[in-house]
Amino acid sequence: MSVGMAALVLVSLCAVSASASAAQGPSANVQAPAVVGAPVAGAPAVCSQNGVGLDLFVRGANGQVYWKHSSDGTTWPSTSVSLGGYATSNPAATSPANGTIAVFVRGGDGALWEINYHGAWSGWYKIGGQLLVNTGPAAYSYVSGTTTRIGWFVTGTNNALYQQWSDNGAKPVSWKNLGGYLTSAPAATVLPDGSQIGVIVGGTNGALYYKHYADGAWQSWSAISGQLLTGTSPAAYNWGTTQIGWFYTGTDYALHHMWAGSTSGSENLGGYLTSSPGATSRSSGTIDVIARGGSGDFTILWQRSYSSGQWGAWTAIGGV
């Protein structure tokens, strides 16, 4: 693991969304979302608004995006809120502040779409671009002085990594082609001041690779250990400013965890996953991982959490 990579702070596919002026779409009217139940079709995204609770997003079998909120991070409602839309990828989600959430997906037209929560859910807005089939977005954000930058990465239809961002809700910059040959959705990383940005992806042989931005330029791709199950993508989190970590579904269908920084290592957390994992760290010393699969029923979501220096058991959240 390089020094540059160890310095990065992962944000678990998290970003604040661009404003409506930066992303235009047909769903301008806000409607009260429905509370429903539906089968899980893809991998979840998870983030925390306040360092205590968790917000969970997943694509249903009907293509709609569903939302569950747990005020304590462990107790989940039996039903979900439908946010509508038509997603053709797993979502990416973030909460830059309490009361604010942003969700990104690949839409039915192959483009990148977003929906925002600021006390109430907006409609879906189209950002644009074209994502490779069976891949979804990654997103990040940081504040530097008076500038709030919202950025996102996607796997293009040519399998290359593309980046785009918006400052203070302005129109996004043009897409930047960062090269590579990706076979998964990316996971994104950033330091709080934006001085370093990094991406973890699956490469042509299913191995994990990373690329990072430092000293004003993007560095070359580098390989890290780990082998992705075909059709899955990594997830990432940051633990304060001293440790980063990432999860992936291995070829043995188990959840694998790796980390670097003040300490480094790897572990097999077991389970039987049928999706990519979603992960976040609510606070330093706490990690939450959610994935589809488990024991017996592979259409529901399961959660495993790390706190007080140890991992708890897998717990069923249920469907959406």
Q: What is the residue-level pLDDT of the chain in tens, covering all 320 positions?
A: 333 333 333 333 343 333 333 333 333 333 445 544 557 788 999 998 888 999 999 999 899 999 999 999 999 998 899 999 999 999 998 877 788 888 999 999 999 999 988 889 999 999 999 999 999 998 887 778 898 787 899 999 999 999 998 888 788 899 999 999 999 999 987 777 788 787 899 998 899 998 888 889 999 998 998 999 999 999 988 776 667 788 999 999 999 998 877 788 999 999 999 999 999 888 878 999 999 985 555 568 999 999 999 999 999 887 77
Long-range contacts of 153-157 (CB under 8 A, 24+ apart): 153/178, 153/186, 153/188, 153/199, 154/106, 154/112, 154/129, 154/185, 154/186, 155/131, 155/182, 155/184, 155/185, 155/186, 155/201, 156/129, 156/130, 156/131, 156/132, 157/110, 157/130, 157/131, 157/132
Residues 3-318: name the CATH superfamily: Fucose-specific lectin (2.120.10.70)
Res 12: pLDDT: 36
Q: What angle do CA 195, 196, 202 make, to 5 degrees?
A: 160
Res 261: pLDDT: 74
* 319 and 88 Cβ atoms separated by less than 8 Å: no
Q: Is the pTM of this model over 0.95?
A: no
Ranges of H-type helices in the chain: 3-7
Res 257: pLDDT: 95
Res 294: pLDDT: 58
- CA dist 287 to 23, 55, 197, Å? 32, 14, 21
* 103 and 113 Cβ atoms separated by less than 8 Å: no
